[in-house]
Structure 1
Amino acid sequence: MRALALGSLIGALMCLSNLYVGLKTGLAFPAALIACVVGLGAQGALMKLSSSLFGPRLSLQETSAMQSAASSAGYSTGGTIVTASVGYLLLSGHHPPLWALLLWTLLGSALGVVLALPLQRAFIRREPLPFPSGLAAASVARSLHAGDESGRRGARALGAGALGAGLLAFARDGLQWLPAALALPGALLGVPLESLSFALDLTLVPLGTGALVGLRVGTSLLLGSLVCFGALAPWLLGRGMIAQPGFFGVLEWSMWPGAALVTSASFTHLALQRGLLRRTLGALFGSRPSGDSQPDAAEVPRSWFLAATAVLSLGLVAVGTVTFEIPWPLGVLGVLLSFALAAVACRATGETDITPTGPLGQLAQLVFGVLLPGNTVANAMASSLSGNIASSSADLLTDVKAGYLLGVPPRQTFLAQLWGCLVGSALIVPVFFLLVPDTSAISETRFPAPAGFFVAGVARVLSTGLGSLSEAARWGALIGGLAGVVLVLLERFAPEPVRRFVPSPIALGLAFALPASVSLSIFLGSLAAALLARWRPVLADAATVPLASGLIAGESLVSLLALLFSASS
Structure 2
Amino acid sequence: MPVGAARDEAEAAPAVPQAETPRVGEQPSALTPRALALGSLIGALMCLSNLYVGLKTGLAFPAALIACVVGLGLQRALLRLSASRFGPPLSLRETSAMQSAASSAGYSTGGTLVTASVAWLLLAGHHPPMWALLLWTLLSSALGVVLALPMQRAFIRHEPLPFPSGMAAASVARSLHAGDSAGRGGARALGLGALGAGVLAFARDGLQLFPAALALPGALLGVPLTELTFSVELMLLPLGTGALVGVRTGASLLLGALVCYGGLAPWLHGHGLLRETGYFGILEWSMWPGAALVTSASFTHLALQRGLLRRTFGALLGARRAPGELPEDTDVPRTWFLSGVVLLSLGLAAVGTVAFGLPFPLGLLGVLLSFALAAVACRATGETDMTPSGPLGHVAQLAFGVLMPGNMLANTMAASLSGNIAASSADLLTDVKAGTLLGAAPRQTFLAQLWGCVVGSALIVPVFYLLVPDVSAVSEERFPAPSGFIVAGVARVLSSGLGGLPEVSRWSALAGALLGVALVLLERFAPESARRFIPSPIGLGIAFVLPASTSLSIFLGAVAAALLARVKPTLADVATVPLASGLIAGESLVSLAVLLVLTASS
For residues 287 and 355 of structure 1, the distance between their equivalents in structure 2, rounded to whole angstroms, comes to 22
Q: Match for 1:324 among 356, 364, 371?
A: 356
Whether 2:137 is the aligned partner of 1:109: answer no
The answer for the alignment partner of 1:526 in structure 2 is: 558
The answer for the alignment partner of 2:185 in structure 1 is: 153
Residue 178 of structure 1: how far off its partner (Å): 2.6
Whether 2:314 is the aligned partner of 1:286: answer no
Residue identity in the other structure for 1:513: V
Residue 254 of structure 1: how far off its partner (Å): 2.3
Whether 2:246 is the aligned partner of 1:214: answer yes
**What secondary structure is seen at the aligned counterpart in 2 of 1:274?**
coil
For residues 343 and 547 of structure 2, the distance between their equivalents in structure 1, rounded to whole angstroms, comes to 39
Q: Match for 2:255 among 223, 226, 230?
A: 223
**What secondary structure is seen at the aligned counterpart in 2 of 1:463?**
helix
Residue 489 of structure 1: how far off its partner (Å): 1.8
Q: Does the 8 Å CA contact 1:26/1:82 hold for their aligned counterparts?
A: no
- Please give the per-residue CA displacement for 1:188-233, whole angstroms capped at 9, x wherever unaligned: 2222222222222222222223223322222222222222222222
Q: Does the 8 Å CA contact 1:146/1:152 hold for their aligned counterparts?
A: no
- RMSD of equivalent CA atoms: 4.5
Whether 2:495 is the aligned partner of 1:467: answer no
- Please give the per-residue CA displacement for 1:113-160, whole angstroms capped at 9, x wherever unaligned: 3456687887999675755xx788778756754422232233333333
- Please give the per-residue CA displacement for 1:212-264, whole angstroms capped at 9, x wherever unaligned: 33222222222222222222222223333334222233223222222222222
For residues 533 and 26 of structure 1, the distance between their equivalents in structure 2, rounded to whole angstroms, comes to 25
Q: Does the 8 Å CA contact 1:266/1:347 hold for their aligned counterparts?
A: no
The answer for the alignment partner of 2:472 in structure 1 is: 444
Residue 67 of structure 1: how far off its partner (Å): 3.4
Whether 2:223 is the aligned partner of 1:191: answer yes
**What secondary structure is seen at the aligned counterpart in 2 of 1:374?**
coil
For residues 350 and 234 of structure 1, the distance between their equivalents in structure 2, rounded to whole angstroms, comes to 42
Q: Match for 1:538 among 557, 570, 586?
A: 570
Alignment of 1:5-16 (within 5 A): 5-12=37-44
TM norm structure 1? 0.79
Q: Does the 8 Å CA contact 2:474/2:480 hold for their aligned counterparts?
A: no
Q: Does the 8 Å CA contact 1:7/1:67 hold for their aligned counterparts?
A: yes
Whether 2:267 is the aligned partner of 1:235: answer yes
Q: Does the 8 Å CA contact 1:257/1:512 hold for their aligned counterparts?
A: yes
For residues 508 and 84 of structure 1, the distance between their equivalents in structure 2, rounded to whole angstroms, comes to 22
Moved more, 513-522 or 348-357: 348-357
Moved more, 170-179 or 322-331: 322-331
For residues 374 and 316 of structure 2, the distance between their equivalents in structure 1, rounded to whole angstroms, comes to 17
Whether 2:533 is the aligned partner of 1:501: answer yes
Q: What residue ranges of structure 2 are gaps of 5+ in the alignment?
A: 1-31
Q: Does the 8 Å CA contact 1:368/1:382 hold for their aligned counterparts?
A: yes
* Number of matched pairs: 560
Residue 370 of structure 1: how far off its partner (Å): 5.2
Percentage identity across aligned positions?
74
For residues 320 and 40 of structure 1, the distance between their equivalents in structure 2, rounded to whole angstroms, comes to 39
Q: Does the 8 Å CA contact 1:112/1:389 hold for their aligned counterparts?
A: yes
Residue identity in the other structure for 1:508: L
Q: What residue ranges of structure 1 are gaps of 5+ in the alignment?
A: none
For residues 250 and 161 of structure 1, the distance between their equivalents in structure 2, rounded to whole angstroms, comes to 34
Q: Does the 8 Å CA contact 1:261/1:505 hold for their aligned counterparts?
A: yes
Residue 63 of structure 1: how far off its partner (Å): 3.1
For residues 417 and 543 of structure 1, the distance between their equivalents in structure 2, rounded to whole angstroms, comes to 28
CA 150–36 in structure 1, closer or farther in 2 if over 3 Å, else same: closer
CA 412–229 in structure 1, closer or farther in 2 if over 3 Å, else same: farther
Residue 523 of structure 1: how far off its partner (Å): 1.8
CA 112–202 in structure 1, closer or farther in 2 if over 3 Å, else same: farther
Q: Match for 2:214 among 171, 182, 185?
A: 182
- Please give the per-residue CA displacement for 1:416-469, whole angstroms capped at 9, x wherever unaligned: 222222333345556777x59xx9x52537998765984667645653233222
CA 471–122 in structure 1, closer or farther in 2 if over 3 Å, else same: farther
The answer for the alignment partner of 2:294 in structure 1 is: 262
